[in-house]
Structure 1
Amino acid sequence: MDISVVLGFVIAVFLVSVVPGPDMLFIVANAAAGGRRTGVVAAAGMSTGLAFHSVAAALGLGALIQAAPQVLNGVRIAGAAFLLYLAYLTWQASRTQVGTPADAPELPRRTLRRTYLMATLTNLANPKVILFYLAFVPQFISTGAGSWPATLQFLVLGAIFILVGFPVDASAALLAGSLAERLFRSGSRVRRRLERVTAAIFAGLAVRLAVDVH
């Protein structure tokens, strides 16, 4: 692969990563609900989803989706339903009473494994990520003489995407989680409000996912 192509891809991915999108909102919402570790784990789950997308693109599954556009509709509906489920769970959590800071000095945390799986599935169920790999990544694939096999190029570019995007997402998670932990310790009322804002974010993402892709 040409080094100029790789550098161009790195710059493009960084710009895409720093612009807040559904994935970053999901990560920030989890960090707000569960703290820094939860947010970073959510970022790791998103990166895992990107790894799956990279492998799928490398194996040519994009061609199947292009040949059968209805597959995207099924993915879109499943993703929206899943986010609505997360919104429901978070809203229910906001109704759970917690003690005062003296009674419960530690911030209640979600199960990290569950957060990781939720983030991975949310990324996999987002058809915009699939479309991104179909439309964006191939622009950096070389086909001339001496070029690497397209499968290998997809895998390398996918790895670069993760190496660039994960630190950005993790930084957002750490910032949001630190702020949330400070606010949580000020009392259960603040915790409940943050949980409800988080639920609203999940619900909003579900609506966007349902109506944004046709």
Structure 2
Amino acid sequence: MDIHLVLAFVAACTLLSLAPGPDLLFVVANGAAGGRRAGVLAALGMSTGLAAHTVAAAFGLGALISAAPQALTAVRIAGALFLLYLAVATWRSSRAEIQQNEVPRRSLRRTYLMATLTNLANPKVILFYIAFVPQFVGTGPGTWPVTAQLLLLGLVFIVIGLAVDGTAGLLSGTLSEKITARPGIRRWMERASATVFAGLAARLVADSR
């Protein structure tokens, strides 16, 4: 592969990962609601979703979606519904806390799976692999096979994304654990997270118009 293309891709991925997009906001919201481990697990879930997108793009899913654009619309609707479900579930969790006067334990496995599904259902990630990543694929004699190049570029994106999301999840979780000793504050953190999930769902719906 052309080292200049790889370096340009690293720079572009770093900027994209640092931008406050849906994935980063989702990780921060989980860290704020569930603590450091929840934030880091959410970041790992996002990376798992990216790994699945990478493999799918490398083996031709992008071409299939380009031939059938309605598939992308279906993914967008599924993602919006899933985020709306998370918003409702998190809001109900905050109400349960008031009734029981204790901080509910969050399932880390559930947090990881929710993050993975959220990334898989994000149509912008699919578009990223269809429209953006191929721009950094080299052509000509002596270049790697396209599949190998896509897998390597996807791995680079995953590593960068995990570093950024993991740091954000750790920081938001640490802050959450320090300021949420009082049940009242925990309640509002849960509700803020629910608002973020609902906002992301609304954004997906708006993007489809």
TM-score for the superposition, normalised by structure 1:
0.94
Query: Does 1:167 find its partner at 2:163?
Result: yes
**Displacement of 1:108:** 4.5
d(CA) in 2 for partners of 1:210, 1:56? 24
d(CA) in 2 for partners of 1:5, 1:77? 34
Counterpart for residue 49 of structure 1: 49
- Counterpart of 2:186 (choices 188, 191, 197) is 191
Counterpart for residue 19 of structure 1: 19
d(CA) in 2 for partners of 1:183, 1:210? 34
Counterpart for residue 9 of structure 1: 9
Query: Does 1:155 find its partner at 2:151?
Result: yes
Counterpart for residue 87 of structure 2: 87
Are 1:38 and 1:115, in contact at CA under 8 Å, matched by a contact in 2?
A: yes
**Displacement of 1:81:** 0.3
Counterpart for residue 131 of structure 2: 135
Counterpart for residue 112 of structure 1: 108
Task: State which drifts further: 91-100 or 9-18.
Answer: 91-100
* 5+ long unaligned stretches in structure 1: none
**Displacement of 1:203:** 0.3
d(CA) in 2 for partners of 1:49, 1:7? 23
**Displacement of 1:2:** 1.3
d(CA) in 2 for partners of 1:109, 1:175? 20
Counterpart for residue 197 of structure 2: 202
* 5+ long unaligned stretches in structure 2: none
Where has structure 1 moved over 4 Å in runs of 4 or more? none
Counterpart for residue 29 of structure 2: 29
* Structure number with higher helix proportion: 2
**Displacement of 1:146:** 0.9
d(CA) in 1 for partners of 2:199, 2:41? 22
RMSD: 1.3
**Displacement of 1:183:** 1.5
d(CA) in 1 for partners of 2:56, 2:22? 21
Partner of 2:206, secondary structure, is helix
Are 2:80 and 2:201, in contact at CA under 8 Å, matched by a contact in 1?
A: yes
Aligned runs of 1:47-86 on 2, under 5 Å? 47-86=47-86
Are 1:31 and 1:38, in contact at CA under 8 Å, matched by a contact in 2?
A: yes
d(CA) in 2 for partners of 1:91, 1:191? 12
- Paired residues in the alignment total 208
d(CA) in 2 for partners of 1:115, 1:2? 38
Identity %: 64
TM-score for the superposition, normalised by structure 2:
0.96
Are 1:34 and 1:108, in contact at CA under 8 Å, matched by a contact in 2?
A: no
**Displacement of 1:4:** 1.3
Partner of 1:95, secondary structure, is helix
Query: Does 1:126 find its partner at 2:141?
Result: no
